[in-house]
Structure 1
Amino acid sequence: MNRFASVFVIVAALAALSQADVNDPRLKASLEKCIGSEKASPADVEALKAHSSDLSREAQCVMACVMKEFKLLGDDGKINRDVYMAEAEEMAKGDAGAIKQATEMYDICSAKTVADNCESANNFGQCIKNEMIARNIPLDM
């Protein structure tokens, strides 16, 4: 289940920063780009690492930027179900229970999105984090 959980952590861009070394070069590049383009401060990055529920606008926009880089977040603030489920299915490696949980979390959390990309990414990310906690899925690998 840990490997399955990582897709939600990365996709929501909440815990990717908390890993000492982001192994995926594309994710690492996206994070670096987004931290710079959104002018995120060291405090913003620390809040993301800490899985804070009270993120600055800049930290929220870092999440949105990363999600857009991976085509998960559209310009309309909506979460791309096809991208989300393709990632979930790849990570689940045929685990029907994991796919069911991914679908349930998508259904719950995508309903919390709004037109503003940064707020939408934050709402989705916080919801995924809360769902993972409620389901005993580890936030950190």
Structure 2
Amino acid sequence: MKFFNVILIVCVAFISYIECVDIEEIKAAVVKCKESSGATDEDVKRIFKRQPAASKEAKCLHACVMQFVGLMNDDGKMDKEKALEILKIIAAGDEEQEKLGLEIVETCGDIEVNEDHCEASEEYRMCMRDKAVENGFKLVRI
């Protein structure tokens, strides 16, 4: 149950722009991603503590979630428009934070990433985390 609580809180920021806000659908997607990737609860904890993924399975869990919320397309590339929408939601109307979010998307959205979607999702995640730390963007607002 802890797994669901942690992931649901974080997923709210990612999926609040999706019109269909069915908690059961979200839970099912998370379970599917966790099962399909073979990730552990410890992998999930590390990801949401913003620590680098410790396993290939953790990276694949993140790729699956990114694809589910529309942040990663079928080619393994970041959908910059979706990323910006999400970062605007996290900024919660703070214009300065929105500018910082835009910097993150501009910096990380076009980086060259691995062809492997699992590796690419980790590269995007670490880029966004590092840029947020660097420029002062507050990742958690919920």
Q: Taking structure 1 as the reference length, what is the TM-score of the superposition?
A: 0.71
Task: Please give the per-residue CA displacement for 1:41-94, whole angstroms capped at 9, x wherever unaligned.
Answer: 334234324432242111000000000001110121110012112223344344
Query: What is the 5 A alignment of 1:35-114?
Result: 35-110=34-109, 111-114=111-114
Q: Is the 8 A contact 2:100 2:137 kept in 1?
A: no
Q: Is the 8 A contact 1:40 1:58 kept in 2?
A: yes
One-letter code of the match for 2:8? V
Q: RMSD in angstroms over aligned alpha carbons?
A: 2.7
Query: What is the 5 A alignment of 1:24-43?
Result: 24=12, 25=23, 27-43=26-42
CA distance in 2, matches of 1:80, 1:125: 13
One-letter code of the match for 1:132? A
Aligned to 2:20: none
Q: Please state if 1:135 is matched with 2:135.
A: yes
Change (3 A) 1:138 1:38: same
Structure of higher RCO (CA pairs closer than 8 Å, 6+ residues apart):
1
Q: Taking structure 2 as the reference length, what is the TM-score of the superposition?
A: 0.71
Aligned residues with identical type, % of pairs: 26
Equivalences, count: 125
One-letter code of the match for 1:87? I
Task: Please give the per-residue CA displacement for 1:87-139, whole angstroms capped at 9, x wherever unaligned.
Answer: 23344344332221111101211214332211110001011111222233455
CA distance in 2, matches of 1:19, 1:100: 30
Deviates more, 1:68-77 or 1:28-37: 28-37
Query: What is the 5 A alignment of 1:120-131?
Result: 120-131=120-131
Aligned to 1:14: none
